[in-house]
Amino acid sequence: MNRLKNLLALALSVLCLSASAQEATIRKNIAARVPQLQKIDEVSKTPMAGLYEVRVNGTDIFYTDAEANFIIQGQLFDTRQRRNLTEERIDKLTAIAFESLPLKDAFTIVRGNGNRKIAIFADPNCGYCKRFERDLEKVENITIYNFLYPILGADSADKARNIWCAKDRSEAWLDWMLRSKTPASASCDTAAIARNVELGRKLKISGTPTLVFADGTRVPGAINTDQIEKQLANIR
């Protein structure tokens, strides 16, 4: 029995050493041949024999062979299970831990029992955000954490300040987004908005709206009511 355990341990160590050497080869050859991809975050095997995933810049995915003689930029599909493996991988990499969000820097809208949760990074001058808000208005039993994220210009920052400093932030937000009622000029401590912008950059949020569901799923862009309900229903 001990001999068998020793043989298994030896085989495992050889495999680990082989995998490590393979990764080193891929890193070395890519660095020499494709200088713009020198800062590689991770090299890992894919389910496809002989194909390796190369991850750079946090969430950019490329594929290569064992010698890095070829690089593929595109999506990998599992035809048997009808799964987009690249999309699944990126979804996992871009997921945001909902519990890590600084909810104190958001204002909250609760509908119904509020037992479903979503966080939204939105710019008050974003047309897609307004369209999304109209669809979101039809969703019941939800708590919405709105992170003001004014990235479209100076007027966005002004409107975000006026909404954040309003007596009723939620009312000021909905009046503007749904009814085009310009928020009244107001002033207060807007450090939370500055923190939101900093957080968004850290999370690589480059467009609005960006949605974060309670399971960590990130959805860039406006989705309709049915799609919102589907995402919420998928959360376990």
Which domains are present in the chain?
A: 33-94 (3.10.450.70), 98-233 (3.40.30.10)
- Cα dist. 187→154, 160, 195 in Å? 15, 11, 17
- Pairwise CA distance, residues 171 & 99, whole Å: 26
Instruction: Give the whole-angstrom CA distance, residue 112 versus residue 141.
Output: 4
The structure tokens listed for 142 are 């939800």
pLDDT at residue 54, rounded to an integer? 95
**pLDDT of amino acid 182:** 96
Q: What percent of the chain has pLDDT over 70?
A: 92
Q: Is the dihedral of CA 137, 219, 144, 184 positive or negative?
A: negative
| C-alpha torsion sign, points 125, 126, 131, 137 | negative
pLDDT at 50: 92
C-alpha pair distances (Å), 17 with each of 22, 24, 37, 68, 208: 9, 10, 24, 18, 45
pTM attached to this predicted model: 0.77
Q: Are 116 and 145 in contact (CB under 8 A)?
A: no
Q: What is the pLDDT of residue 147?
A: 98
pLDDT at 59: 86
Whole-number pLDDT of residue 5: 53
Alpha-carbon gap, residue 128 to 126, rounded angstroms: 5
Helix crossing, 191-202 with 154-164: angle to 10°?
A: 120
Q: Which two tokens stand for residue 79?
A: 């035809």
Task: Mark the ranges of the chain whose per-residue pLDDT is less than 50.
Answer: 7, 10-17
